[in-house]
Amino acid sequence: MPQVFTRRHEFLNYIKEQKRNRNSIGFVPTMGALHAGHAQLIKQSTSENNCTVVSIFVNPKQFGPTEDFAKYPRTFQNDVDLIESMGAQAVFSPTVEEMYPPLFATQVSVTGITEVLCGAYRPGHFNGVTTVVMLLMNLAQADKMYLGQKDFQQVQVIKKMVQDLVHSTSIIMVPTIREQDGLALSSRNRYLSEEARQIASAVPKSLAAAAKLFLQGENNIAKLTKASQQELSKFGLEPQYLEFRKVSDLTIKIDTNIQEETVLAIAQFIESNGSKVRLIDNVILDNNSTNKQSLEDLISRAFS
């Protein structure tokens, strides 16, 4: 059973003990409602570190005024059971008041890559992300932190923050874990009704259609975009965004031909039970053998 900490000072004492014992520390930050995608992050951490710490904290600072903070799923005991099954040693699950005491007045802000893609539609979101992640990183003092590729922009923002502020924690991005039909695992998938879940399969199909053409040698953005949009239109969907951007610099949108490592990112609202569920996903388009295998797996799942 992992040790569960709810207070900062208790958690810090635990971390200090691990440091004294010269244990390497892996850290997996989460907002709970854990699934197999989180399990993969924890599994990789436990295989690479002496001690793995998982945080469970639904961060109010990264939710907008009209977003789903209050109804975000909270499944603490199930989360701890999964964490235990993956072999992690500790859980840090503070209250909002513990994380942000009354006099808390600091914000961490990364500019440039936070104003595009999700940032263009969720003002202030990434400031909330970078603030809480920096705070958690300072508490965990980990050698490595594990994040999922599904949240690709978030990973790039955190990498930029770590680079600029010369933080010692290394950021490890783990490939997206997908369901049978290719849908990326997400805590928000549980909001989908059975009918909405079927419609949501258009999201991985849209990415897979572009990936298939890319692997066949097509680099033209207009043709790749058309293939993606055709899959969405079969379900009557219009994406919030569907964009090709340079992996090395997300501020650069690619409009002509792919000439270097590129991410195709999508955000799509799915109607479900009278509300809208926002799903995000992405694929990295390059000819790296490992990434090619990931693309082929997505294509196989989406069009099986």
Q: Distance (Å, rounded) from C-alpha 29 to C-alpha 121?
A: 24
Q: What is the CATH number of the domain that holds 293?
A: 3.30.1300.10
Tens-digit pLDDT string for the chain (304 aa):
999 999 999 999 999 999 999 999 999 999 999 999 999 999 999 999 999 999 999 999 999 888 878 889 999 999 999 999 999 999 999 999 999 999 999 999 999 999 999 999 999 999 999 999 999 999 999 999 999 999 999 999 999 999 999 999 999 999 999 999 999 999 999 999 999 999 999 999 999 999 999 999 999 999 999 999 999 999 999 999 999 999 999 999 999 999 999 999 999 999 999 999 999 999 999 988 788 999 999 999 999 8
- Catalytic (active site) residue 38: yes
What's the burial of 48, exposed, middle or buried (CB within 10 Å: 0-12/13-18/19+)? middle
Structure tokens at 214: 């890319």
Q: Are residues 165 and 16 in the same domain?
A: yes
Place of tokens 């399969």: 201
Q: Are residues 212 and 161 in the same domain?
A: no
**Which residue, 127, 153, 174, sits at the end of a domain?**
174
**Which residue, 144, 174, 204, sits at the end of a domain?**
174
Q: Which domain holds residue 140?
A: 3-174
**Which residue, 141, 174, 207, sits at the end of a domain?**
174
Sign of CA dihedral 6, 51, 126, 78: negative
Q: Are residues 146 and 213 in the same domain?
A: no
Residue 23 placed within a domain? yes
Instruction: Provide the number of structural domains found in the chain.
Output: 2
Report the relative pairing of strands 241-246 and 262-272 from DSSP bridges. Answer: antiparallel
Per-residue model confidence as pLDDT tens digits over 20-37 = 999 999 999 999 999 999
Q: Are residues 13 and 132 in the same domain?
A: yes
Q: Are residues 161 and 24 in the same domain?
A: yes
Q: Are residues 207 and 120 in the same domain?
A: no
Q: Are residues 220 and 163 in the same domain?
A: no
- SS3 letters for 28-97? EEECCCCCHHHHHHHHHHHHHCCEEEEEECCCHHHCCCCCCCCCCCCCHHHHHHHHHHCCCCEEECCCHH
Q: Are residues 163 and 231 in the same domain?
A: no
Q: Distance (Å, rounded) from C-alpha 52 to C-alpha 91?
A: 9
**Which candidate in 9, 35, 38, 167 is catalytic?**
38
Q: Distance (Å, rounded) from C-alpha 211 to C-alpha 264?
A: 9
* pTM score of the predicted model: 0.97
Per-residue model confidence as pLDDT tens digits over 262-297 = 999 999 999 999 999 999 999 999 988 788 999 999
